[in-house]
């Protein structure tokens, strides 16, 4: 009878060991699949770049119709000047048309704190290439 008990105990231990190994393998496999899904989702996530359009402010200047487009880049802010010929009558139409042609979409309006005099700005975004 002892031989039967030892055999049964040995079989149960082997089954327990194998089921533990199988469970561990399944858990690792599911974890790897979830991590792979997370990475592919992150890789496919849309990334954006941003810019702002503001009225140029030069101390003591009487020039009208001058606007700044501030492109926010990883290396810093790149500012491009765009001058309107109608001296404010049409507003920043040329600058907005330029941004539209470059694929920018208007997303909001608010203060622009990167300039010395501050001021208001129109904010744009587009998908990052």
Q: Per-residue pLDDT tens for 31-75?
A: 666 565 566 556 678 899 999 998 877 655 565 678 888 999 889
CA atoms within 13 A on the CB side of 75: 2
- Percent over 70 (pLDDT), the chain: 56
- In Å, how far are 4, 58, 123 from 108, measured between CA atoms? 80, 24, 5
b/e 52-82 (16+ beta carbons within 10 angstroms → b): bbbbbeeeeeeeebbbbbbbeeeeeeeeeeb
Cα–Cα distance, 67 to 83 (Å, whole number):
6
């Amino acid at each position: 009878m002892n031989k039967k008990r030892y055999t049964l105990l040995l079989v149960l231990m082997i089954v327990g060991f194998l089921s533990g190994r199988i469970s561990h393998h399944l858990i690792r496999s599911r974890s790897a699949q979830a991590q792979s899904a997370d990475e592919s989702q992150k890789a496919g996530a849309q990334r954006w770049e941003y810019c702002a359009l503001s009225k140029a402010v030069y101390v003591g200047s009487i020039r009208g119709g001058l606007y700044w487009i501030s492109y926010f880049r990883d290396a810093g802010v790149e500012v491009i000047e765009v001058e309107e010929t109608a001296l404010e009558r049409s507003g920043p139409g040329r600058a907005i048309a330029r941004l539209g042609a470059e694929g920018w979409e208007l997303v909001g309006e608010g203060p622009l704190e990167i300039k010395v005099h501050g001021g208001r700005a129109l904010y744009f975004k587009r998908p990052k290439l």
